[in-house]
Structure 1
Amino acid sequence: MNENSRLHASSNLRNTLLSEIGIGISANSILLLFHILKFFGGHRPKPTDLPIGLLALIHLLMLLVMAVSATDIFISWQGWDDITCKFLVYLYRVFRGLSLCTTSLLSAFQAIILSPRSSCLAKFKQKSPYHMSRALLLLSIFYMFISSHLLVSIIATPNLTLNNFMFVTRSCSILPMSYLMRSTFSTLLALREAFLISLMALSNGYMLTLLCRHKKLSGHLHSTSLSPKASPEIQASRTILLLLSFFVLMSILDSIISCSRTMFLDDSTFYYIQLFIVHIYATVSPFVFMSTEKHVGNLLRFMFKGIINV
């Protein structure tokens, strides 16, 4: 690929990424606003409203930090100092970790809600929001600890010709770490990933089993001329299963791009593709959640009506 073609491809990837961030910020803002209005409007909340609203808030903050970082990735200017680099990169990594934690706990929470009364999980239904809050707090503290090395390894790099530095933005890079430090933090991250993905896998398998059982029961009810309409819990479980499958797919693509980026010596094109991949879930998930809420349409019509009147 010649230099002109490379610059054109990078420009297209940049515009695509910035559009994705803008759409994601707008969608998560609407979803979060909907849950806030629903709470203060006196509507009876569903069990999943809290984790979904929290996930929208996390994704909104993550994309806002990414939008700020994008100004230093794509735009040449004075640059940031060490403190700004450390703060923004660390904050962004924490929000990414919280997105994974909240998604995993949401899958477990939905599995508890879907469980029948005869199940051993039924006793956790009333206390599950409380336990989820505690689990998310503990996981957040753990992830903030294992990401603390970024406060040391992230530095401002005004000289872009430095070797062995991993590019983050035009102003920020990651210092090469010692083998012991790299192994320690990689092991902690691998343990976190293994635990949360195993939790998702178990929850998904359990929900899939219950949904298959419900499908057979629905077929029997339909054959006896009774309504086979799925309950809200069943519909929510299908939505979450769809999102989790999509999340796992994006995680696999992220890993492939990360390996490719390492093999091709930190090529900027692979970096832009990786940034696009890791934000697809945060951009798509609010649309999936809003598609299951009939009141969101009323909120959007009210907002657009207000804008037109102004």
Structure 2
Amino acid sequence: MTVVEDEAEAIRKGAAMILQGETLAAVARHWTGLGLLAPRSSSGKAKSGAEGWGVGGVKKVLISPRYIAQATYLGEVVGEGQWPAILDEASHYALVSALTNPKRFTGGARTGSAPQTLLAGLAACSKCGETVRGGMYRGTPVYRCGQKHVRVPRELADKRAGNAVLARLAFPDFLPSVLAARQEQGDDSAHLHQEAQTLRERLDGLAVAYASGAITLSQMTAGTEAIRARLDGIDEKLSGIPGLPPIDPVRGIAHLIQDWPNTPLPVRRAWVKFVTTITMHPNGFRKAAKMTVDDYMTVEWNHVADDEE
């Protein structure tokens, strides 16, 4: 429950190293050099340099939701932790996205203690208020609360939640309205997202201008490179501050919608949490064949103006 500041600073430094393009091995050497104990080195060998951190251990730490103050049980997020966060959520999601990228993966466990399901720790039971976790019921993957009031088929629930997020993202007013509200609240990320949106529109404008013959190929190329460089800079800034869940700075919301099934699980979880409030209902004695998705769960949109309700 208590943060050890030296170790917390080492985790923050390791996160920054990865986000700056350094390797897990480099972080492992850094932590070992600090004399920090790896989980397998409880005997103290790490202090003598005989045995230290490996890349698998570093990865498990850096993608663990415990360090953004989320409690886990058997690899599932089950609620908010009762301790201070070491990393902000934007950095955490950026780390998980980078470290679970199949192009980077070289072996070992992919997820460590990171969440394995879309809605664990996010959806709540309407009867007891507990957040749900993943489980099995008669061979079927389900979500259920600790009191077993609810047993919702996981495939059905994930599809319903994902569709609700995508439907909201598809509204043209969604991102501008959220950014405007966050700017009023002083959210530092809002103006960066707004600038990224403007730059994406300029990229589209360059392509149209070139297609119409208004500019040359070299002019379009030079303009595109300058805009993409600025977008990369915005992406780096957004990775270090809280705000909206991650959005590709170049391709934007449209790409998120198109590539939703391939989006890293932690990023999809962040959008589910940001866009929706999900409540799951007790099954009673009804047979599953007679139940609809609305019998199982209620999904409400967040960030909806009064005139949209």
Q: What is the TM-score of this pair, normalised by structure 1?
A: 0.28
Structure whose residues are more often strand by fraction: 2
RCO comparison, higher one (Cα < 8 Å, 6+): 1
Structure whose residues are more often helix by fraction: 1
